[in-house]
Chain A
């Protein structure tokens, strides 16, 4: 990570860093996803069930080879959302697999929604879309 300062040379006084950028591609991408299941309260889902459904989704679209990519479930929140960590090379594939997943093995309709994707875990800490709600 490098920080850039506005007008580095002209102004000798150190200026507060304004933005950050990563010098190289990060090896993982963090996805914040929500899962809704028909006629079920998704807040009751535990980590095992969540991981099982993610693996089912990957197996359906990407097959056994695609389902072998390491996906880590980092945190399950109470409201049915979770944070998963996937290798950045296969982010798009896994994202697509999650989006295309339509029904659980028990036949209930369900939907994964990827709310937020970031190469840094800290990027998921705050969502500017909720900014107005949080402040007001």
Chain B
């Protein structure tokens, strides 16, 4: 008996011109299915339909994990490119990562967010915004317990000292709430 293997595509749903849009996971599923039928026909849909599912959809960051059978996964990734609309909204799919498990996708996602955080953080205009963002980041660190050594040594310290410490460190060592 051979194991049934899957692949997971980590996709970012980008809504050009309307950044605050969000969709539901069944809408994503239907859009992927329709695109698969359009680009690879009855054969492509039949090959992937049994294993196709949207395992995870973050409505805040618009990041989805889509599962498909490994053998025909290239058909799925190629049809993702052709999705133009989800529920009447213009959308572009950007495949960030293809992994063999949801866990590996999550690992990649943490690294991806961490990398992007340093780009997003300078865009905070007011000092309140900066502090708020940093606070939420620190809170995420607290719940995640991600092995942040300096923070771990001083768990009794209030959040603002850790905040000032991070700001000195040029904001490079932040963690992200998305995991």
A96 neighbours in B (Cβ, 8 Å): 43
Q: Which of A58, A63, A97 contacts B44 (CB 8 A)?
A: A63
Indicate if B170 sits at the interface (CB-CB under 8 A): no
Q: Does B42 touch A at the CB level, under 8 Å? A: yes
Contact with B along A33-66 (1 / 0, CB 8 A): 0000000000000000000000000111111111
Task: Assess the A64–B38 pair: CB atoms within 8 A.
Answer: yes
Contact B38 A66 (CB under 8 A): no
| B40 engages A65 (CB within 8 Å) | yes
Q: Across the interface, which residues of B come within 8 angstroms of A64, CB to CB?
A: 38-39, 41
C-alpha spacing A132/B43, complex, angstroms: 40
Q: Which residues of B contact A67 (CB under 8 A)?
A: 41
Interface string of B30-53 (1 = CB under 8 A from A): 000000111111111000000000
Q: How far is the CB of A76 from chain B (nearest CB, A)?
A: 25
Q: Are B78 and A65 in contact (CB under 8 A)?
A: yes
Give chain B nearest CB distance to A58 CB in angstroms: 8
- Total number of residue pairs linking A and B with CB closer than 8 Å: 36
Complex Cα–Cα for A100 and B43 (A): 11
Q: In whole Å, how far is B52's beta carbon from the nearest beta carbon of chain A?
A: 15
Are B40's CB and A66's CB within 8 A? yes
| A59 contacts across to B, CB distance below 8 A | 41
Complex Cα distance, B40 from A61, in Å, reads: 7
Q: Which of A60, A63, A67 has the most CB of B within 10 A?
A: A63
Q: Does B42 contact A61, Cβ atoms closer than 8 Å?
A: yes
A66 to B38 CA separation, bound complex (whole angstroms): 10
The residue on B at minimum CB distance from A67 is B41
- Find residues 1-49 in chain B having any chain A CB closer than 8 Å to their own CB: 36-44
* A60–B42 CB distance below 8 A: yes
- Residue-by-residue, is A74-116 near B (CB-CB < 8 Å gives 1, otherwise 0)? 0000000000000000000100110010000000000000000
CA distance A63 to B72 in the complex (A): 14
Residues of chain B contacted by A65 (CB below 8 angstroms)? 39-40, 44, 75, 78
A63, B39: Cα distance in complex, Å: 5
* Bound form: Cα–Cα A96–B42 in Å: 12
* A59 smallest CB distance to B (angstroms): 7
Chain B min CB distance to A112 (Å): 16
Which residues of chain A are near B44, meaning CB under 8 Å?
A: 62-63, 65
With CB as the reference atom, state the residue of chain A lying closest to B41.
A63
Chain A contacts to B: CB under 8 angstroms:
58-67, 93, 96-97, 100
5 pairs across A/B with beta carbons < 8 Å?
A61-B43, A63-B36, A63-B41, A63-B43, A97-B41
Q: Which residues of B contact A (CB under 8 A)?
A: 36-44, 75, 78
Question: A64-B39, A93-B43 are known contacts; what are 9 more A-B pairs with Cβ within 8 Å?
Answer: A58-B41, A59-B41, A60-B41, A61-B42, A62-B40, A62-B44, A63-B43, A65-B78, A100-B42
